[in-house]
Structure 1
């Protein structure tokens, strides 16, 4: 082994992986956004449904105050904020109804909605990951 080319490397699998990632990363980003949007919408709907069933008679508008926002921090970071909008009628009651007070117990409407959605969300994210890692 003399000279500059003493070692030969087969880089075909690296090139194949590179092409695969160039295809799947943009798709994984789109799929992740869709899963986040669907999960946030499901939690919002379940939270409102739970609130309609458990809200006290003096807070009939509270379930309609529940909404969500999906925020993006660059191409790979998403954040869903879900809960009552304090600008909506009775939205400011959210903390009291969700977490309770000295005189009233917590309803945990949002917590129950989140717990219901987590298994489906995790399963969908695992599928996205699996598709991204399968490249041969």
Structure 2
């Protein structure tokens, strides 16, 4: 019976190059993601200030952003902080309740942010593809 030699050692330099490029993409994406998270927080707060009224006067300040640990790349969480006054009321403000219609403050902020984020991601991708 003949021996079969399966040798993938030629793939190791390719894998190293992919890993290096992934690290560079993450480095490029970090400031963009941070900036977009700050913009989302700002716009969402602005929308909430105009829609929350007197009954939700603390809600806009409860909308925060913070970086989350991730090994996959830059990751931020933006939204109402339940530990802050009226932060636990985010679902009611955003999606409505039996007492009020949905405010959709996050949805409006995301609608303006999404094309900016996509353009920034495309710019980063194009830079590494060329």
The CA RMSD over aligned residues, in Å, is 2.2
Q: Across the two proteins, how many residue pairs are aligned to each other?
A: 118
User: Contact 1:21 / 1:132 at 8 angstroms: preserved in 2?
Assistant: no
User: Contact 1:41 / 1:68 at 8 angstroms: preserved in 2?
Assistant: yes
Unaligned runs of 5+ in 2: 1-12
User: For the pair shown, which has the larger CA radius of gyration, 1 or 2?
Assistant: 1
Corresponding residue of 2:8: none
**Greater fraction of residues in helix:** 2
Corresponding residue of 1:83: 79
Corresponding residue of 2:10: none
TM-score in terms of structure 1 length? 0.76
Corresponding residue of 1:39: 36
CA distance in 2, matches of 1:102, 1:119: 33
CA distance in 1, matches of 2:101, 2:29: 36
CA distance in 2, matches of 1:81, 1:35: 14
5 Å-filtered alignment, 1:37-116, equals 37-74=34-71, 76-116=72-112
User: Contact 1:99 / 1:106 at 8 angstroms: preserved in 2?
Assistant: yes
Q: 1:47-76: CA deviations, max 9, x gaps?
A: 0000001112122111111001222421x3
CA distance in 2, matches of 1:71, 1:103: 34
User: Contact 2:62 / 2:87 at 8 angstroms: preserved in 1?
Assistant: yes
Superposed displacement of residue 88, structure 1: 0.4
Unaligned runs of 5+ in 1: 1-14
Q: 1:69-128: CA deviations, max 9, x gaps?
A: 222421x33432211101001111111101101221000001110111000000000010
TM-score in terms of structure 2 length? 0.79
CA distance in 1, matches of 2:96, 2:81: 18
